[in-house]
Amino acid sequence: MRRAALIAVPYFWLLALFLVPFLIVMKISLSDGALAIPPYTPQLDIAEGWNGLKTFLSELDFENFVFLTTDDLYWKAYLSSFKIALISTSLALLIGYPIAYSMARAAPEWRPTLLMLIILPFWTSFLIRVYAWMGILANEGLLNQFLLWTGIISEPLTILNTNTAVYIGIVYTYLPFMILPIYSALEKMDDSLLEAAEDLGCSRTSAFWLVTIPLSKTGIIAGCFLVFIPTLGEFVIPSLLGGSQTLMIGKVLWEEFFNNRDWPVASAVAIILLLILIIPIILFQRNEQKQREMEG
Amino acid sequence: MKRFSWFNITALTLGFAFLYLPMIILVIYSFNESKLVTVWAGFSTKWYAELMQNEAFLNAAWVTIKVAVFSSTLATVLGTMAAYVLVRAGRFSGRTLFSGMIYAPLVMPEVITGLSLLLLFIGIGLDRGVLTIVLAHTTFAMCYVSVVVSSRLVSFDRSLEEAALDLGCSPWQAFRLVTLPIIAPAVISGWLLAFTLSLDDLVIASFTAGPSATTLPIKIFSAVRLGVSPEINALSTIMIAIVTVGVISASLISKQASLKQQRDEQAAARG
C-alpha cells in the first residue's frame, strides 16, 4: 500500500506535467492554425462523445509538416543549427582537451581546486555569462579597443551579431561540459603505459596519439555529445549574440510561437527538432554504457 | 611521475583566463561612473544605488526567489521519491515508462519543455503566474534531483536498512533514521542544483509566466536585448557574489563534515 503510494506520486506528476503536455504538442502539430482562442482547430468536444472524437480525429493531418518541407526557412534553420552545433563542438574540443589534459597532469593536491574552478561557472547564471560577452565583442567593445591599441587592426571588427559571436558564446558557456568527461578519463589513465610506449621506441608525440588519445576516447565522445545536444536547441545565445542572419531552430520556434502566434507550426518545428535529437542521444547513451561496461 | 610542462601551465592559464576574464570585466565595469559600459570614467557605486530604487527589478527578484524556494523543495521531495522508486521498488508495471520520463526531460530542449507546458496550462485553463512557473520548474528539476540521489542510493550498503528492519523499525522509520542520513549529502546537493536551475531559467519561465509574474531572468533578458547597461552589470555582480560565497561555503562545510566523519570513524575503530 505504502509502496503503491510512493510510486504513484512521482509517476502521476510526470505523467501530468511531462507526458500529457508532450502529447498535446503532438496533437497541435497535426491541427490547423485559426484566428481564435486558442489559435488552432479542431477542438475536441467531449460532450459529443464518440462522434465528437471521430470528427476531431478526421480533421487532424500532416499539413504543418508538409508546410515545413516546402518553406526553405525551416530547412535552412535546421541545417544551420546543425552546422553551428558541429563547429562549436569542434572548437570546444580543441580548446577543452589541452585544459583537461593539463588538469590531469597537475599535482594531485591541486586537482580538486582546479576542478572546482571549472565547475564554479556552472553555478553562475547562464544569461549573465552570455551577457558578459556583449560588452566585450561590441564594435566599441573591449576586444576591439584592445586590438586597436596593440595595432593588430586599424578599424574595429564586427563580431557581435554575427555567427562568430555565437561560436564564442557557445564555446564559453559549454566548455566545462567538454572538459569534465575528458578530465575524468585522463585522470584514471595509468602513466606507466606512456613510459612503456617510450621504452618501446615511441616518440612523445606518437605516444600521445597512440596511447593517450585512444584511452580518453570515451571522454571525448561524451564531451562532444554534451556540447552538441543542448547546442542544437539553443535559444539564448543566438538571440543575444547572433544577428538577424543567424538562423537557429530554437530561435525560429520561439519567434513562430511568440511573434507569429502560429502554434501548430511551432509544435511541428518542436517535433522535428526532437526527432533529429533522438539519434545523438542514443549514440551518447551507447557510449556511456560502453564506458560502464569497461569499468565494471 | 607525471610530467608537468610549460605547455600545461600555458594551457591552464589561458583556459582559466578565458573562463574568468569576461566575468571579471563585467564586475569591474559595474563600478564604472559612465553610462557607456565600454568607457572607463572613474569609480562609482551609483548603479547599485539606482538598482535598489528599481521596483521592477526588486519585484522580479522576489518572485524568482519565491519560485526557486518552492519549486526546489517540491522537486527535492518528488525527486528523492522517484530515485527511491527507481532503485528500490523493484519491478512494477510501467517502470520503463517511468525511467524514461525521468531521463527525457534532462535532454529535452528547453524551448520544447516550455512550449509543451504552456499548451497544457492553456488547455486546462490555468492562469499563468507564480503557480505555473513553480509547477514547470518542479517538473524538470525533480529529474535532476532523482539522478543525483539515485547515484547515491545505488552505492550504499543495503544491509544497513535491512538491519534496521530486522531490529523492529517500520519501513518509514528505517528510511528516516538510516537511509535519509546516509543519502543526505546527495539530497542537499540535489536541492541546491534544483534551486540554481530555477534561479537561472529563462526559457521555460518565459513560456509559463503570465503578465502577473515576471522572474528576474525574464526581466534581465528583455533589458539586455536593447544593449549593455551598467545597471545589469551591477545586478550580475550581486548574483555572482552570492553564488561564489554560496559555493565556497558549501564546499568548506562538506569538507569539514567529511573530516569530522573520518575522526568519528577513527575514534570508533579505537573503541
pLDDT value, residue B23? 93
Q: What is the pLDDT of residues A3-17, one digit of tens each?
A: 888 899 999 999 999
Average pLDDT over residues A254-271: 88
The CATH number of the domain holding residue A79 is 1.10.3720.10
Contacts of A224 (CB under 8 A, 6+ apart): A89, A93, A178
**Nearest by CB: A229 against B98, B107, B116:** B107
Residue A140 has pLDDT above 60, yes or no: yes
Average pLDDT over residues A36-56: 68
Residue B265 has pLDDT above 80, yes or no: no
Domain hosting B141: range is 41-233
**Nearest by CB: A99 against B11, B220, B228:** B11
Q: What is the pLDDT of residues B154-208, one digit of tens each?
A: 887 788 888 988 998 888 888 888 889 889 989 998 999 999 999 999 999 999 9
Domain hosting A244: range is 72-295
Give B-chain residues touching A257 at CB under 8 angstroms: 115
Q: What is the pLDDT of residues A68-95, one digit of tens each?
A: 888 888 889 999 999 999 999 999 999 9
Give how far B271 is from chain A: nearest CA, Å. Answer: 31
Which among A8, A38, A61 is the end of a domain? A61
Q: Choose, out of A18, A30, A82, A236, the residue to mutate when testing the contact with B (most B CBs < 10 Å).
A: A18
Q: Is there a single domain that holds both residue A147 and residue A184? A: yes
Q: How far, in Å, CA of B49 to CA of A79, rounded?
A: 46
Q: Is residue A228 part of a domain?
A: yes
Q: What is the pLDDT of residues B55-108, one digit of tens each?
A: 889 999 999 999 999 999 999 999 999 999 998 887 888 888 998 899 888 888
Q: Is there a single domain that holds both residue A207 and residue A79? A: yes
Q: Is there a single domain that holds both residue A183 and residue A273? A: yes
- In the stretch 74-103 of chain A, residues with CB closer than 8 A to chain B read 95, 98-99, 101-103
Q: Is there a single domain that holds both residue A261 and residue A130? A: yes
pLDDT value, residue A256? 86
Q: What is the pLDDT of residues A227-249, one digit of tens each?
A: 999 999 999 999 999 988 888 99
Q: Is there a single domain that holds both residue A32 and residue A102? A: no
The verdict on a CB contact (< 8 Å) between A277 and B38 is no
Cis peptide before A42 (omega within 30 of 0): yes
**What is the count of structural domains for chain B?**
1
The CATH number of the domain holding residue B223 is 1.10.3720.10
Q: What is the pLDDT of residues B22-53, one digit of tens each?
A: 999 999 989 988 877 667 888 888 889 988 89
The verdict on a CB contact (< 8 Å) between A24 and B119 is yes
Q: Is residue B244 part of a domain?
A: no
Q: Is there a single domain that holds both residue A112 and residue A41? A: no
Give A-chain residues touching B16 at CB under 8 angstroms: 117
Give A-chain residues touching B12 at CB under 8 angstroms: 99, 102-103, 106, 114
Residue B4 has pLDDT above 80, yes or no: no
pLDDT value, residue B3? 62
**Nearest by CB: B111 against A10, A172, A254:** A254
Q: Is there a single domain that holds both residue A240 and residue A287? A: yes
Q: How confident is the model at residue B1 (pLDDT cuts 50, 70, 90)?
A: very low
Q: Is residue B256 part of a domain?
A: no
Give how far A228 is from chain B: nearest CA, Å. Answer: 11
Q: Is residue B22 part of a domain?
A: no
Mean pLDDT of chain A: 87
Task: Among A48-57, A119-128, A195-204, B165-174, name the one with the lowest average pLDDT.
Answer: A48-57
pLDDT value, residue B10? 93
Q: Is residue A1 part of a domain?
A: no
The verdict on a CB contact (< 8 Å) between B11 and A102 is yes
Q: Is there a single domain that holds both residue A192 and residue A53? A: no
Average pLDDT over residues A182-190: 90
Give A-chain residues touching B199 at CB under 8 angstroms: 125
Q: Is residue B68 part of a domain?
A: yes
Q: Is residue A5 part of a domain?
A: no
Q: Is there a single domain that holds both residue A31 and residue A171? A: no
The verdict on a CB contact (< 8 Å) between B112 and A25 is yes
Q: Is residue B185 part of a domain?
A: yes
**Nearest by CB: B12 against A9, A99, A233:** A99
A206 to each of A151, A195, B57, how far by Cα in Å?
39, 12, 57
Give A-chain residues touching B91 at CB under 8 angstroms: none
The verdict on a CB contact (< 8 Å) between B19 and A236 is no
**Nearest by CB: B224 against A136, A240, A281:** A240
Q: Is there a single domain that holds both residue A154 and residue A81? A: yes
Residue B211 has pLDDT above 90, yes or no: no
Residue A168's Cβ-side half-sphere holds a number of Cα atoms within 13 Å equal to 23
pLDDT value, residue B2? 53
Chain B residue with the nearest C-alpha to that of A100: B12
Residue A35 has pLDDT above 70, yes or no: no
**What is the count of structural domains for chain A?**
2
Give A-chain residues touching B82 at CB under 8 angstroms: 10, 14
- In the stretch 134-153 of chain A, residues with CB closer than 8 A to chain B read 134-136, 138, 140-142, 145
Q: Choose, out of A3, A11, A26, the residue to mutate when testing the contact with B (most B CBs < 10 Å).
A: A11
**Nearest by CB: A21 against B1, B89, B120:** B120
A&B contacts, CB < 8 Å:
214
Q: Is there a single domain that holds both residue A53 and residue A139? A: no
Q: How far, in Å, CA of A168 to CA of A161, rounded?
A: 11
Reduced 3-state DSSP string for chain B: CCCCCHHHHHHHHHHHHHHHHHHHHHHHHCCECCCCCCCCCCECCHHHHHHHHCHHHHHHHHHHHHHHHHHHHHHHHHHHHHHHHHHHCCCCCCHHHHHHHHHHHHHCCHHHHHHHHHHHHHHCCCCCCHHHHHHHHHHHHHHHHHHHHHHHHHHCCHHHHHHHHHCCCCHHHHHHHHHHHHHHHHHHHHHHHHHHHHHHCCHHHHHHCCCCCCCHHHHHHHHHCCCCCHHHHHHHHHHHHHHHHHHHHHHHHHHHHHHHHHHHHHHHHHC
The verdict on a CB contact (< 8 Å) between B89 and A7 is yes
First to last CA, chain B: 39
Q: Is residue A86 part of a domain?
A: yes
Q: Is residue B82 part of a domain?
A: yes
Q: How confident is the model at residue A48 (pLDDT cuts 50, 70, 90)?
A: low
Residue B112's Cβ-side half-sphere holds a number of Cα atoms within 13 Å equal to 29
Q: Is there a single domain that holds both residue A52 and residue A187? A: no
Q: Is residue B13 part of a domain?
A: no
Q: How far, in Å, CA of B147 to CA of B151, rounded?
A: 6
